[in-house]
Structure 1
Amino acid sequence: VPAGGLDAGPRPGELLGAATPYVLGNVCYLLGIHFGTVLAAELLGGAEAALLAVPMAVLTAVYLVPRVVYQQYLLGKLHRWAGSDAEAVLLAYRWGSAGMVALGAVVAAAVAVGGLVALPVVFGPEYRDAAPVLAVLALAVPFRFGGAAVAALLTSGGLLRRKVVYQAVGAVVLLAALAVAVPVWGVRGAAGATVLAEAVLCCLLWVAARRGVVGDAPLPTWRDLRRRLSREAPRAS
């Protein structure tokens, strides 16, 4: 019971402490999306920065897929499973993350190939040089999709702050990589730095989920997944 009685709400300090991890996580996300373009504009000029800004806008739209799937649809289920259904959590870790990586690879291929045609048509022939930049950035998509899948498992069980720490590490890696790559390789270097940061963050989140969520538990097999789906099908109907 709160100190002020049943009607007393949380204290400002409690609200701040609870909200801070989410705020910092969004700051790291926005930093990863926009800082490369800002740095490219400062070091290379507006024209070069535009060749990065358009592919990054495409990447932002693509990144909505895992955000919607895990933050809008599955997050509540994952919280519930974390307290009452360990099998579902393990299935989400093994097959959900693998499925998201596979989906990310398909989307990455579509983005890389489609950008060659779509960017000049949509934005004009002067953006033809942005297509190779988008092709490099597309390599980050499987890492983002897989990272989102395992990151969603770190929002319960006291693992949220660890997730934010790893997001901060990914942001630091991005800043360092951009500082080295942009002056040497231009906008393609910025795209490569983005891919590197996504890969590092995905690996960190995956290791955290493996240690903090899975632990020593045996991973479910494909047969376990089919059994679970067949059991859930009558309930859905």
Structure 2
Amino acid sequence: MSLLKREAIKAVSSLWLATLAGAGLAFITQAILARLLLPEAYGVFSSSLSFVMLFVPLAGFGVAQFWLKAFGQEGWAARRWLSGSMRFISYSTGLVFCGLIAWAMVGPHNQLTTLVLCLLAFHVLAQVILELVSSRLQLEERFLSLAMWQLFPHLSRFLLVAALALFLSKNVNVVLGSLMYAAVAVLMIPVGYYMLKPMFNRTFCLVGHENYTNVFNGERKNWKTVINLSWPFGLAAFAHLIYYQSDIVLLKYLDSDTSAGIYNIAFLVISAIYLLPGVIYQKYFLPKIHRWSIQEPARVRELFEQGNIAMLFLGLIFLIGIWITADWMVSILFGDHYAQAAFILKILSFSVPFMFVAFSSGAVLVTQNNMKLKVKLMILVALLNISLNLVLIPLYGMVGAATATIISNALLALLYFITAKRLVIKN
């Protein structure tokens, strides 16, 4: 397999450009809020949003990712999982939403943080819908539609926040900003419902399998059976967010809202960079990897070997680029209030090559029955990250959080690479 096939480049390019546009809009939206709010108020918003995002994987609990595996391996017969999946998602999402509201009410928060958390809890609904529809579009290999769908919430939030800045710039506060995020979340529910309907009425086009036949390989599966197979994906996503962005939440509770706000600026830049390997492996190659693991295993090995080299090279390029541009980029985009974020960004840049390799090596660990092992590795790294943060943040603040991130990402990349090479590629 050649990774430079014209069709692959076209699909990845469209996904990357649209995802980059979405990231740019999200970036600008956050920059507008950061400029309108002081670091302390922005810290309340960013840490609350990060806290809510930590629990998004527990709402969907891996169902969207499980759909990719089930349809990739079973073809049309995987429709037997749909009704049970939707029932389970309604239970899990409702439980997470109510849990977030309860924590906002009883946690160690002032009135402002409580209100912001309650509003941002609606963001969970938007993310669950976003992931489910994305899985449908990935299965159909409608990559341009996928890119547009993922752009939609970012564009909506940008327009609402930009309108606030234009018409109410002197009166904008963190509550209004949070309200805009909640409004977009509510809007996505009916839109997502409309886009998911084809999966249930047989009008969606599953790529890589024969045309639909009204035959199921076994009975329809209930929601309890769905849990047994989807939980590794949900737990993996939860563990990923723990070592990926729990730093911001812990900075709020162990240091200050101001530190959380400044650190989040650096985190936004790093997150935008990680979109490149994310698009390549999680959006474009993931459905194919599930299919290849059954039909053409040799392609998985070739993807692993070529991908690791390419990702390491790209990661080093981004590391150098961050060191060259960090100071003036933070100053221009976010203002002098956040000047400290440039130094934190330079520290975090050392984790970029590790994470790029982790995306590549980790992608092949979702195949066959290796997902549970991948989850164990992620939980190990997540526990290490939390432990390091609990020790380093009280001593070194933002620098301690950044150091914990680098160590965690380096270990993750090493574990993924060794495990994938030993278990998946050699077999």
In the superposition, the TM-score normalised over structure 1's length comes to: 0.84
Q: Distance in 2 between matches of 1:23 and 1:108?
A: 30
Q: What is the deviation of 1:154?
A: 0.7
What SS does structure 2 have at the residue aligned with 1:138?
Answer: helix
- For the pair 1:90 / 2:282, whether they are aligned, the reply is no
1:60 and 1:32 mapped to 2: Cα distance? Answer: 13
AA aligned to 1:45 is S
Cα distance, 1:66 vs. partner? 1.5
Question: Unaligned 5+ residue runs, structure 2?
Answer: 1-76, 81-214
Q: Deviations over 1:101-145 (max 9, x none)?
A: 111111222223222111011111121111110011111111111
Structure 1 contact 32–171 (Cα < 8 Å) conserved: yes
Tell me, in whole angstroms, the C-alpha distance in 1 between the residues paired with 2:245 and 2:276.
19
**CA distance in 2 between partners of 1:106 and 1:10 (Å):** 47
Alpha-carbon separation, structure 2, partners of 1:117 and 1:110: 12
Counterpart of 2:401 in structure 1 is 190
Q: Secondary structure at the match of 2:397?
A: helix
Q: What is the identity, as a one-letter code, of the residue corresponding to 2:265?
A: V
Residue 172 (str. 1) matches residue 371 (str. 2) = no
Aligned partners of 2:363 and 2:244: how far apart in 1? 20
Give, in whole Å, the separation in 2 of the partners of 1:113 and 1:161: 40
Matching residue's letter, 1:90: R
**Which residue identity lines up with residue 142 of structure 1 in the other structure?**
P
Cα deviation, 1:62-86, whole Å, max 9, x if unaligned, reads: 2222111111101122223222334
Cα distance in 2 for partners of 1:112, 1:144 equals 17
Asked if the contact 1:103–1:142 (Cα under 8 Å) also holds between the matched residues in 2, the reply is: yes
Letter in 1 for 2:275: L
Moved over 3 A (4+): 5-8
* Inter-partner Cα distance in structure 2 for 1:30 and 1:42: 17
Q: Is the CA contact 1:41–1:49 (under 8 Å) kept in the aligned structure 2?
A: yes
Cα drift, residue 56 of structure 1: 1.0
Aligned to 2:364: 153
Shift of the alpha carbon at 1:88? Answer: 2.1
Q: Given the alignment of the two structures, is residue 27 of structure 1 paired with residue 238 of structure 2, yes or no?
A: yes
Higher alpha-carbon deviation: 22-31 or 172-181: 22-31
Answering whether residue 403 of structure 2 is matched by residue 201 of structure 1, we say no
Find the residue that maps to 1:63 and give its secondary structure. helix
User: Aligned residues, how many?
Assistant: 214
Of 106-115 and 20-29, the range deviating more from structure 2: 106-115
Instruction: Determine the structure 2 residue equivalent to 1:103.
Output: 314
Matches within 5 A, 1:2-151: 6=216, 8-151=219-362
Partners of 2:355 and 2:367 in 1: how far apart? 20
Residue matched to 1:163: 374
Counterpart-to-counterpart distance in 1, 2:265 and 2:299: 39
- SS of equivalent residue, structure 1 residue 139: helix
- 1:26 positional shift: 1.5
Q: Distance in 1 between matches of 2:231 and 2:304?
A: 26
Q: Distance in 1 between matches of 2:356 and 2:271?
A: 12
What is the distance in 2 between the residues matched to 1:33 and 1:201?
Answer: 11
